[in-house]
Each structure stands twice: as C-alpha cells, then as structure tokens.
C-alpha cells in the first residue's frame, strides 16, 4: 500500500513545475562523514554573543515550544532543538500529499553572527501505514540528482526541495527575531561547515585524548554506568570520592549531582569524573563533567523519610552542578 502511495505521490501535479530549481541541484544537500548536514549563517552586526544567544533562545521558545528545546547553554552559546512538522507537497480539493519531517537544529551563537546546523532529518510518508525515509538515503546527490541529465529525480525532488526550503525558513525566522536596528545588515548564506564555538568561562580549551560532547549527545545508559563505575569530585583544592548520583535538569539547566561522604565543598567550579571498571563493554572509558556549582547540602536524619537509612552511618553531602561541558574518551 505504501509503495503504491509513493508512486501516486510521484505522479501528483507538483508545485515545482515552472520553478527555478538551480539552487536545489548538485551540491545543494551537503554531507559530512556520511550524514546530511545543512548549515546557514545569520549575521547580526553590532550584537554581542550574549545578545545573539538571547534572541535565538526567544525565537526557539516561540517556534519549538518548551518540549522542543533539547539543550540551551548561555555559557557555550548553544541552543539545540528538535523539530517536527509537515512538508506539504500538494494541497488541493481531495488531494493532500505531505510528509512528516523530524530534524535537529543547532544554533551556535557567536559575536555578530549565528551558525545554524540542521541534521538528523527523517521523514514519515504515507497516511495509513507511513514508511520512514532517511535524508541520507533519499535527498542526497546520489539518490535525488541525475548527474548525467543534470536534473532532479521525480519523487525524490519534492522532498529535497521542501527540505532545503525548510532550512532556509529556519534562517529567515532567526533573521526576523533580530533587533530592528540590525535587521537591514543581516545576511543569510550557506556555509560549508559550522565554525566551532570557542569555549568560554570554565570550559577547558582541550583535554588530550578526550573529545567534547554535549550532554544530549551522550550515548549509553548513564544510570547503569554509575552503578558499575567510580565517581571522583575534584575542585581546585579538594578531591573527594563520590557515591551515587545522576543527571537531569534543574531550573531548565542540564545538571549532574552526586553524594560525597566528606562534607568538604569542591568550590564554585569543579569536575565530576566517572571512570569505567575493568572490561567495561560500554561506549566510554571515562566521562568528565565540567560543572558550575548550584548548591551543596549536608544531609541530616531529618531529611530522610526511611528510618532504616538513618542508621547507615555518616550521611553524605549532596552536590549539584550545572553542566558547562562534557568530555569523553
């Protein structure tokens, strides 16, 4: 049924007829390490990185709503969102041809500009029993562009065109969210790759042997990792053995918390390091969270509702910190 639906979709009268498709041809869908990665740059002359971030965060809250914002860090100048909407190919009386598209968009804010990166593009196509299509297998030059004839392939073309239009529309939405005084000077242009965001504040510029990831990009079950590995809490002058912990959100910020038997404080800036046990089969051997302290609290018997726990010995101190960045190896 779905194959038939796809075939009929190819034969439907498309709105692409008579349209200038030159901007959608060869090279219009860039790939990086085998993945489709769209990038756009929006210039914001005269704006600091903090002001660019504030505008991006406001726009993201309006477009993607609260549940669509996966990660936002003013220290890193990064906002990551999940988008889910329809690409409408044809909408006429008794005819509706559309696909549901999922994607991830990252806004990397810098002084006087923001680089937008759109990845993880997926489609659901078909009304009754929709089938899933990956951008990497559907809209790339290999699958959607006929190099010999210099044209787009029928059926794939509408997905490719509408996806590129969506990426451009995301850039346009950000442009419209900029202050009126700078709107005239804003430029929207494709770039080959998103420039790396320079670490700020307490973020280490590099850690030899590690790679930097965002909390939302971590792989594996962190609860299982905590149960099987060790935790070390380290400030500028203090190193503590930690027990138990977890990751989550507090005040809309990504946080990691842990419990240390010692009441000593790690300070305003500290790292929490998870180390894998021997023969650990998981993704990482070590994870280092660079944190900014949110609060520390020494537990007392009155904090516990379970009477049995009150007699287990010295109660630990709980430390919760905002995750500034994460390093893994």
Q: Which residues contact 150 (CB under 8 A, 6 or more apart)?
A: 25, 26
Number of domains in the chain: 2
Q: Which residues contact 224 (CB under 8 A, 6 or more apart)?
A: 282
| Cα–Cα distance for residue pair 72/53, rounded to 1 Å | 9
Reference 325, options 268, 254, 234; nearest CA is: 254
Is 10 a residue whose pLDDT tops 50? no
Reference 58, options 42, 40, 79, 76; nearest CA is: 79
Indicate if 89 and 132 belong to the same structural domain: yes
| Cα–Cα distance for residue pair 327/207, rounded to 1 Å | 8
Asked, for residue 200, whether it belongs to a domain, the answer is: no
pLDDT at res. 310:
66
pTM here is 0.55
SS3 content of the chain, % helix, strand, coil (to 5): 25, 40, 35
State the average pLDDT over residues 16-45.
Answer: 84
Indicate if 269 and 183 belong to the same structural domain: no
| Cα–Cα distance for residue pair 99/303, rounded to 1 Å | 52
pLDDT (tens digit per residue) in 86-141? 999 988 877 888 999 999 999 999 988 899 999 999 999 987 778 899 999 999 99
Domain, as residue range, for 221: 211-328
- Which H or E run contains 36? strand 35-36
Is 228 a residue whose pLDDT tops 90? no
In Å, the largest CA–CA distance within the chain is 79
Indicate if 103 and 172 belong to the same structural domain: yes
pLDDT (tens digit per residue) in 44-68? 877 889 989 999 998 999 899 888 8
Indicate if 186 and 216 belong to the same structural domain: no
Indicate if 185 and 217 belong to the same structural domain: no
Beta bridge partners of 114: 42, 109
């Amino acid at each position: 049924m779905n194959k038939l639906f796809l075939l009929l979709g190819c034969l439907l009268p498309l709105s692409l007829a008579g349209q200038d498709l030159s901007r959608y041809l060869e090279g219009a869908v860039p790939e990086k390490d085998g993945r489709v990665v769209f990038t756009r740059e929006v210039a914001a002359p005269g704006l600091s990185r903090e002001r660019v971030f504030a505008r991006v965060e406001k726009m993201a809250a309006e477009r993607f709503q609260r549940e669509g914002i996966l990660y936002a860090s003013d220290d890193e100048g990064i906002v990551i969102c999940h988008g889910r909407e329809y690409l409408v190919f044809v909408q006429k009386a008794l005819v509706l041809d559309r696909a549901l598209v999922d994607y991830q968009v990252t806004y990397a804010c810098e002084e006087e500009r923001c680089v937008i990166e759109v990845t993880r593009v997926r489609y659901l196509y078909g009304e009754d029993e929709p089938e899933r299509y990956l951008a990497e297998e559907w809209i790339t030059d290999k699958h959607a562009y006929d190099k010999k004839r210099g044209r787009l392939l029928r059926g794939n073309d509408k997905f490719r065109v509408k996806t590129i239009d969506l990426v451009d529309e995301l850039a346009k939405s950000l442009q419209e969210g900029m202050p009126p005084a700078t709107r005239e000077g804003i430029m929207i242009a494709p770039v080959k790759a998103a420039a790396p965001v320079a670490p700020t504040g307490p973020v280490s510029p590099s850690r030899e042997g590690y790679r930097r990831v965002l909390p939302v990009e971590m792989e594996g079950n962190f609860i299982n990792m905590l149960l099987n590995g060790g935790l070390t809490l380290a400030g500028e002058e203090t190193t503590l053995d930690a027990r138990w912990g977890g990751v989550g959100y507090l005040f809309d910020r990504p946080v990691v918390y842990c419990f240390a038997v010692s009441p000593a404080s790690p300070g305003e800036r500290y790292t929490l390091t998870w180390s894998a046990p021997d023969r650990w089969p998981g993704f990482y051997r070590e994870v280092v969270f660079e944190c900014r302290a949110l609060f520390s609290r020494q537990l007392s018997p009155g904090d516990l509702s379970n009477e049995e726990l009150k007699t287990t010995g010295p109660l630990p101190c709980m430390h919760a910190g905002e995750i500034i960045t994460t390093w893994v190896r």
